Structures are given as C-alpha cells and as structure tokens.
C-alpha cells in the first residue's frame, strides 16, 4: 500500500487522517509543526508516543521527498541530497553554507529535455515536472539539516545563528521555465511562509523566451540568470539545442526587459569550456579571447554580472576544463571592456555537485 504523504494534506485532511486512526485532533497540529520544520520521518517527533510514531511510519510519510543519499563536501560547507519522489524518480538538491547565508539549489524537473552538450542532467531525458510541494520540500529538507528539531525563533534583524535557509537558486536539474507556473507557486510560498525575500531568489534558464516574459508579468523582483555559454549563435547552437528555437538576441532582449522592469541586475552564466585536440592537449572552446570580446559587445552598457563557471567534469561529455590562467585571461578581457564579472567558486566538485551528476551515477548502478 502506498503511504500517505502528510505534507500534501490540508489541515482539515490531516485532522481527518488522525481522527481515522483513532487519535485526538491535537495530534494533527503536533505532526504539522514537525513537518513544517522539515522532519524527514516520524522517529524525530519527540512529543508523540513511541508506538504512535511506529504506527504512523507504517502508513504515512512526512514529506513528498525522502533522502536516499547525502554527500558532504570536504569544503565543509556543501551538502548534496539525492531525494526520491513518490513515483520512484530521483532528484538532487544542494545546500551551500556561505558567509552571506544558506543557499539551496533546487531542482525544478526530474531530468531535463534541453540537451545541453556539457551537462549531466539531460543525459537521461526529461521524466516530468516537479510539483510545488516537491520543490518546497527540498527547502524543508535543507532547513531540517540546518536547524533540526530546534523551534524557529523569530529574530527581527535576522537569525544570529545563521541557521535558516536565506537564499534559493532554482539552478538544479531541469529547466524551470518549462515548469513556470509551479516554480512561481513554489517561490510565492517560500516568500510568504519562510520569509525568503525576492531579492534572495534566483531563477536560472537556458533561455525560454516566453517563460522569461511570464516571469516579467509575474513582476516579483527576483534575480534572473541566463545560461549563455556562448556569445554567437553558431557556437551556442552547437552546445545548446534550445538556441535553434530562441536566438541569442531574442533571449537577451527578453532577459534585459525582465530584469530592467524589476530593476535587478541580470546574471549571465558562462561555463568556460575546453576540448582535447588530437594530441590530447586542451584547447579553448568557448573561452578564447575573441569570444571574450564578442561577449563584451553583447553585454556592454547593460546592468549585468557575468558569472564565469569552471566546468565540472562530466565523464560522458566531450569537454575539458581549462586552466586557471585561461579563466583569468577571459575575465580580464571582460573587465577591460567594462563588463562586471566574477569567477564562481567551485563548490562540492568532490561530491558531484554539478547538475545531475549524482542522479546519473545512481541510475547507472
């Protein structure tokens, strides 16, 4: 028998559920308190009798995601969760503890249909969109990791212990703008129930133009990130099939329009890729000085920040990471051309933290 996922029930449905088990109504509130804090199972619910916890675990589960595996990076700041959904699909989410707060990287789909040539997430294709609850439960999983069974105190000026989720990046597996309405529903809820401010939320897209306009119409001052990865259509189409549908200029026009309309800086993601030549030497692919100049031409004069991303190696993919020197040369050209840029620190490379790597590994076993 399938277990009932209590997080998916309304308060009234939960009351009915406990009543049917012959329990008093107040048990529903107790259970809901725990679930809202991200309790992964019933064993942690200290104010319920032992036999009740046992009984509940036989017929129900707390969240619509269960932890299959967790990996802690030896940077001591990054934890990656492999989570299983109700139908057996697996997704990933990553908790990054930083000096400015705790950020969770959320998946928006199980798998991905976009087919980007450097990415692991898309190798097994798209399985399905995630629901609002499945995205929200990723945040709760991270929240439990940070705070555990400690009750949430309200600190008017922020939490001095820094143990709340403060930032959300929708940059995990999947293309959020193929699942826009659920992503919006999830973010509305994270904003209203967890108090995560719009300015600490980032949605990253490979460039689905109608979806970008949907975000603009939604009108919340979130951060938009565009996975650009190439400054000319010919090159971009080679590594990102979506570029055959929405061309660079169209994507950037929509993106500037969206970020300008809520007065936010646009984030551009640019993975620096190399290739092995016939001698096994790494040559620059999208990371040549010429492409740095082309990228500057596209962006100069706009309110943008370019995130240069070292490529996380994916064995199945035919690219190579480039030297630190080559990364800096690329960055220097952007800076010289007046384009804001920074190099994204690699996090959790040792735990397969790039999009979809863990899910892929687990699927091959």
Q: Does 202 bind ligand SAH (CB under 6 A)?
A: no
Map the footprint of ligand SAH across residues 340-359, applying CB under 6 A.
354-355
Shortest distance in whole angstroms from residue 176 CB to ligand SAH: 6
Give the whole-angstrom CA distance, residue 147 versus residue 194: 13
> Of the ranges 72-80, 96-104, 145-153, 310-318, which one interacts with ligand SAH (CB under 6 A)?
310-318
Map the footprint of ligand SAH across residues 172-201, applying CB under 6 A.
175
> Of the ranges 71-79, 111-119, 192-200, 295-303, which one interacts with ligand SAH (CB under 6 A)?
111-119
Q: Is 214 a catalytic residue?
A: no
Name the active-site residue from 16, 89, 92, 262. Answer: 92
Q: Does 322 bind ligand SAH (CB under 6 A)?
A: no
Judge whether 233 and 252 are in contact, CB under 8 Å.
no
The only residue of 254, 309, 334, 358 in contact with ligand SAH, by rule CB under 6 A? 309
Q: Does 119 bind ligand SAH (CB under 6 A)?
A: yes
Beta strand segments in the chain, E: 4-5, 60-61, 65-72, 78-85, 90-98, 101-105, 109-111, 126-129, 165-170, 201-205, 223-227, 266-276, 282-284, 304-310, 320-321, 341-343
Site string for ligand SAH, 224-243 (x = CB under 6 A): ---x----------------
Cα torsion angle, 249, 253, 258, 264, sign: positive
DSSP secondary structure, 34-70, as one string: HHHTT--SGGG-TTS-HHHHHHHHHHEESSSEEEEEE
Give the whole-angstrom CA distance, residue 313 versus residue 292: 22
CA distances in angstroms from 233 to 45, 60, 228, listed in the order given? 55, 51, 10
- Reduced to 3 states (helix: H, G, I; strand: E, B; else coil), residue 293 is helix
Q: Is 355 a catalytic residue?
A: yes
Shortest distance in whole angstroms from residue 347 CB to ligand SAH: 11
> Of the ranges 150-158, 179-187, 191-199, 306-314, which one interacts with ligand SAH (CB under 6 A)?
306-314
> Of the ranges 151-159, 181-189, 253-261, 309-317, which one interacts with ligand SAH (CB under 6 A)?
309-317
Judge whether 144 and 40 are in contact, CB under 8 Å.
yes
The only residue of 110, 168, 171, 308 in contact with ligand SAH, by rule CB under 6 A? 171
Quick one: which of 266, 333, 277 has its CA closest to 302?
A: 266
* Rama region for 35: left / alpha / beta (φ>0; ψ in -120 to 50; rest): alpha
Shortest distance in whole angstroms from residue 114 CB to ligand SAH: 6
Catalytic residues: 92, 355
Contacting positions for ligand SAH (CB under 6 A): 114, 116, 118-119, 171, 175, 204-206, 227, 269, 271, 309, 311-312, 314, 354-355
């Amino acid at each position: 028998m399938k277990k009932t996922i209590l997080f998916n029930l309304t308060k009234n449905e939960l009351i009915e559920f406990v009543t049917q088990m012959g329990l008093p109504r107040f048990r529903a509130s107790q259970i809901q308190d725990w679930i809202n804090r991200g309790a992964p199972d019933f064993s942690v619910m200290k104010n319920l009798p032992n036999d009740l916890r046992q009984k509940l675990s036989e017929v129900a589960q707390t969240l619509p995601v269960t932890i299959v595996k967790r990996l802690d990076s030896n940077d001591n700041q990054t934890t990656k969760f492999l989570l299983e959904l109700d139908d057996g699909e697996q997704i990933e989410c990553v908790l990054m503890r930083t000096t400015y707060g705790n950020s969770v990287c959320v998946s928006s789909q199980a798998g991905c249909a976009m087919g980007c040539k450097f990415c692991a997430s898309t190798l097994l294709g798209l399985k399905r969109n995630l629901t609002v609850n499945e995205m929200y439960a990723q945040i709760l999983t991270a929240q439990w990791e940070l705070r555990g069974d400690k009750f949430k105190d309200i600190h008017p000026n922020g939490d001095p212990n820094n143990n709340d989720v403060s930032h959300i990046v929708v940059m995990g597996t999947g293309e959020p703008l193929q699942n826009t309405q659920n992503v919006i529903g999830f973010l509305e809820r994270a904003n209203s129930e967890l108090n995560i401010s719009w300015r600490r939320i980032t949605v990253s897209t490979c460039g689905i133009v109608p979806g970008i306009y949907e975000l603009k119409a939604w009108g919340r001052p979130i951060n938009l990130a565009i996975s650009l990865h190439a400054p000319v259509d010919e090159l971009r189409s080679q590594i990102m099939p979506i570029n055959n549908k929405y061309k660079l200029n169209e994507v950037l026009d929509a993106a500037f329009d969206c970020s300008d309309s809520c007065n936010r800086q646009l984030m551009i993601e640019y993975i620096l890729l190399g290739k092995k030549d016939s001698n096994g030497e790494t040559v620059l692919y999208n990371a040549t000085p010429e492409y740095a100049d082309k990228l500057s031409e596209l962006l100069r004069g706009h309110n943008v920040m370019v995130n240069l991303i070292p490529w996380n190696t994916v064995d199945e993919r035919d690219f190579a990471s480039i030297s630190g020197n080559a990364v800096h040369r690329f960055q220097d050209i952007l800076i010289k051309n007046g384009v804001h840029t920074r190099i994204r620190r690699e996090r959790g490379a040792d735990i397969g933290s790039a999009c979809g790597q863990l899910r892929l590994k687990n699927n091959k076993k």
